[in-house]
Structure 1
Amino acid sequence: MSEEHRETGTGWPEPAEPARPSGPAGEPDPRPDAPDPDELSPLTPAEREADAPPAEESAGEEPSGSAAPVSRRLTSAGAMIAVLLALLGFTLVVQLKTTSTDSSLTATREEDLVRISSDLDSRERRLRQDIAALEDSQRQLRSGEQGRQAALDEATRRADELGILAGTLPAVGPGLSVRFVGGGKAIAATRILDAVQELRGAGAEAMQIAGSDGAAVRVIASTYFVDAQGGGLMVDGRRLTGPYTILVIGDSATMRTALNIPGGVVASVADDGGNVIVEDREAVEVSQLHAPIKLEHARPVS
């Protein structure tokens, strides 16, 4: 028995391991049936795993701790994108709600739209008449010999108009009688003020308000309305008790339309349990006068 054989304890020698074929260093065996080089390694699998370097270090990769910043960066970017998408969605929802909301005129009934259109037409006609009157006055003032008399007449007419507006002169003309009757709730001063504002906007030229006892107050630009303690109204410092009646001179159709618009004076008083009675009159007399304001500093220019 040669030196390459050693006893196995069974009487037969253990065959020697095949020798690795000689060849250039680092090149695999070119034979097709050659065993895997790892199978020819004298080390056992456990020893090979123990001697092998860590996978991260052998592959030249970074330690596992470097994955945490990348994950955090991805998470921050995702959160920012989610916030931007949420803001975009909120903006779209608000825009849709805004565009889909019906305006007051869109939800108004056809007959109410007709009344509003008629009111606007009446205002346009009145303004055109005022423009025509002013242009005629301008031509008369520039007409030479008749200029002085025309200027005097124009000044007198203007003084009368200002006297009516200031409440220092009585007035008569076609208009309305507007009566406010309270129900379970007294008529508030804000309702009367709203009525006065609506009437002024519809072209009212003169008006006065009276209480149940007949006491009346001329309504001018500086008139105020306040709820009185114990009931009633304080109008320019004078106490009035309901029901209240407003006499107003102007275009009755236009003023009636202004009072009856949806959500206007008539509707508001009805919501409070009261009632507004509007009557047309061919001749309304506004006779209550307002004391002239005493000027302290102003004087006319000569």
Structure 2
Amino acid sequence: MVVVDKEPRKPRGRGRSERPSPTPAEARRRLSALGRFHPAPGQIVAAVLTALLGVALVAQVRSADEAGLSQLRQSELVGLLDDVTGRVSSLQQEVVQLEADRARLQGEQGDVAAVEAAQDRLESYTILAGTAPVEGPGITVFVNDPDGVVTQTMLLDAIQELRDAGAEAIQVGAVRVVASTWVGTDPDGRLTLDGRVLTAPYRISAIGEPHTLSGAMAIPGGFSDSLRGAGAGVDVVESDELLIDALHEPQQPRYARPVEPTAQP
């Protein structure tokens, strides 16, 4: 007797059941993922190279900032050190002199000391005003300019560098340099100092500590380098005794007036 299974069989199909349809939320997520940017390999390489270039530039700038004086030659460092040492020594001497003047003024011979101090101050003012000839150690700068390449800016730089190095008196050609001295040119383009024409070769005399002054003229990128780069010749001679005899004719100020001292509380 054959028994027949009347239970309906499950339909044959694939090994796995079919996936249900995605929900609207899941569909939106899938579309959003498809819309995302997928960079190409070339774009990734370009981005990495750009980042490395930026890091290298930052490192180079920091290295240049930190280098500072380490990039200077030994002779340049020696010149700068001598310049600073000379300025410190000059300031220390000035402090000692001022303290000695104060001690004399406060002593028993105060009246005599006051007269001597006033005389010393008058002599200092005449030197600064250029109304008296002066002598002392210093340097002479000879500038050979056959092609006329020296400009008023170059001459002004020379005067400023000598002042910064502690020059107490300066003379250019036959003109005394004072606080009101100005550099210019005439209608023909020739250099002038206080309105007086200068002719080449130029001679600049300065009284002060010779080695410090000559070091100021040799500063890299300064007066001497600028002239040699333009084609002019520069020679600096140090002297133990130098005479500056050009005098400046003082003029009455038109606008500046002294301020009356106020009473101290």
**Which residue in the other structure is 1:99 paired with?**
62
Relative distance call for 1:257 and 1:299 in structure 2 (3 A) is: closer
Relative distance call for 1:182 and 1:257 in structure 2 (3 A) is: same
**Which residue in the other structure is 2:25 paired with?**
62
**Cα pair 2:138 2:210 within 8 Å, conserved:** yes
Structure 1 stretch displaced more, 268-277 or 118-127: 118-127
CA distance in 1, matches of 2:68, 2:257: 45
Relative distance call for 1:276 and 1:204 in structure 2 (3 A) is: same
Instruction: Report whether the alignment pairs 1:294 with 2:252.
Output: yes
Unaligned stretches of 5+ residues in structure 1: 1-17, 23-34, 40-44, 46-51, 77-81, 211-215
Match of 1:198 among 161, 178, 199: 161
For residue 136 of structure 1, give the secondary structure of its aligned residue in structure 2. Answer: helix
CA distance in 1, matches of 2:183, 2:24: 87
CA distance in 1, matches of 2:54, 2:95: 48
Partner amino acid, structure 2, of 1:127: L
**Which residue in the other structure is 2:85 paired with?**
121
**Cα pair 1:209 1:245 within 8 Å, conserved:** yes
Q: CA RMSD in A?
A: 3.1
Partner amino acid, structure 2, of 1:181: N
* Post-superposition offset of 1:71: 4.9
Match of 2:11 among 38, 51, 54: 38
Aligned residues: 246
CA deviations over 1:162-211 (Å, ceiling 9, x no partner): 2211222222212111111115452111211111111111110001111x
* Post-superposition offset of 1:249: 0.9
**Cα pair 1:171 1:285 within 8 Å, conserved:** yes
**Which residue in the other structure is 1:220 paired with?**
178
CA deviations over 1:263-288 (Å, ceiling 9, x no partner): 22222211111111111223322222
**Which residue in the other structure is 1:149 paired with?**
112
CA distance in 2, matches of 1:200, 1:120: 14
Q: TM-score, normalised by structure 1?
A: 0.70
Give the number of the structure whose alpha-carbon radius of gyration is greater.
1
Relative distance call for 1:96 and 1:267 in structure 2 (3 A) is: same
CA distance in 1, matches of 2:258, 2:147: 51
Relative distance call for 1:38 and 1:130 in structure 2 (3 A) is: same
Partner amino acid, structure 2, of 1:206: A
Partner amino acid, structure 2, of 1:203: G
For residue 76 of structure 2, give the secondary structure of its aligned residue in structure 1. Answer: helix
Relative distance call for 1:165 and 1:64 in structure 2 (3 A) is: same
Query: How high is the sequence identity, in percent, across the aligned residues?
Result: 31
CA distance in 2, matches of 1:285, 1:157: 20
The within-5 A match list for 1:110-259 is 110-143=74-107, 145-210=108-173, 216-259=174-217
Relative distance call for 1:183 and 1:106 in structure 2 (3 A) is: farther
**Which residue in the other structure is 1:14 paired with?**
none
CA deviations over 1:127-172 (Å, ceiling 9, x no partner): 11111111111111222x2122212211221121122112222222
Counting helix residues as a fraction of each chain, which structure ranks higher?
Answer: 2
Structure 1 stretch displaced more, 103-112 or 285-294: 103-112
For residue 291 of structure 1, give the secondary structure of its aligned residue in structure 2. Answer: coil
Partner amino acid, structure 2, of 1:251: E
Structure 1 stretch displaced more, 223-232 or 263-272: 223-232
**Which residue in the other structure is 2:239 paired with?**
281
CA distance in 1, matches of 2:179, 2:149: 25
Unaligned stretches of 5+ residues in structure 2: 39-43
Relative distance call for 1:136 and 1:88 in structure 2 (3 A) is: farther
CA distance in 2, matches of 1:244, 1:199: 15
